[in-house]
């Protein structure tokens, strides 16, 4: 049973436009959410995170929105740049039985930003 879902395997946008990557989760115990970015042949790198006590977190061109009632979060990239082309993973963590240090990952969304 997939607890973190990224239903769009891929997304293509034009340079300068907004990229919106979506993520849904089913486990109501999740209270911390992260986005990782992964280039081919490299390990994932941390991008941005949000705690369940917030509904928005911004870092430069990247903003993550959290809708707890809908169990949905999204990553907005504005403006998108060709260097943003990568696979983006959504991950979640929750304090369920003291295991709040484990992350559950979605399957990833491949973002392609076209010049």
Interface positions with other proteins (CB under 8 A): 6, 9, 32, 34, 36, 41-46, 49, 89, 91, 93, 100-103, 105-108
Distance CA 64, CA 6 (A): 15
CB 113 within 8 A of CB 13: yes
- Least distance (Å) between residue 77 CB and other proteins: 19
- Least distance (Å) between residue 99 CB and other proteins: 9
CB 6 within 8 A of CB 107: yes
In terms of CB distance, is 80 or 106 closer to other proteins? 106
Opening angle at CA 17, ends 13 and 21, nearest 5: 60
In terms of CB distance, is 25 or 36 closer to other proteins? 36
- Least distance (Å) between residue 82 CB and other proteins: 22
In terms of CB distance, is 15 or 52 closer to other proteins? 52
In terms of CB distance, is 15 or 32 closer to other proteins? 32
Q: Where do we find the tokens 């392609």? A: 112
- Least distance (Å) between residue 43 CB and other proteins: 4
CA dihedral (97, 102, 104, 109) in degrees, to 10, reads 160
């Amino acid at each position: 049973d997939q607890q973190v879902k990224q239903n769009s395997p891929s997304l293509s946008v034009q340079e300068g436009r907004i990229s919106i990557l979506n993520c849904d989760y089913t486990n109501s115990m999740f209270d911390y959410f992260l986005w990782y970015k992964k280039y081919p042949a490299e390990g994932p790198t941390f991008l941005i995170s949000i705690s369940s006590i917030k509904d928005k977190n911004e870092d430069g061109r990247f903003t993550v929105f959290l809708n707890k009632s809908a169990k949905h979060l999204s990553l907005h990239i504005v403006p998108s740049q060709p260097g943003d082309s990568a696979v983006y993973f959504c991950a979640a963590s929750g304090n369920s039985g003291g295991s709040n240090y484990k992350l559950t990952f979605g399957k990833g969304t491949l973002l392609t930003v076209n010049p």
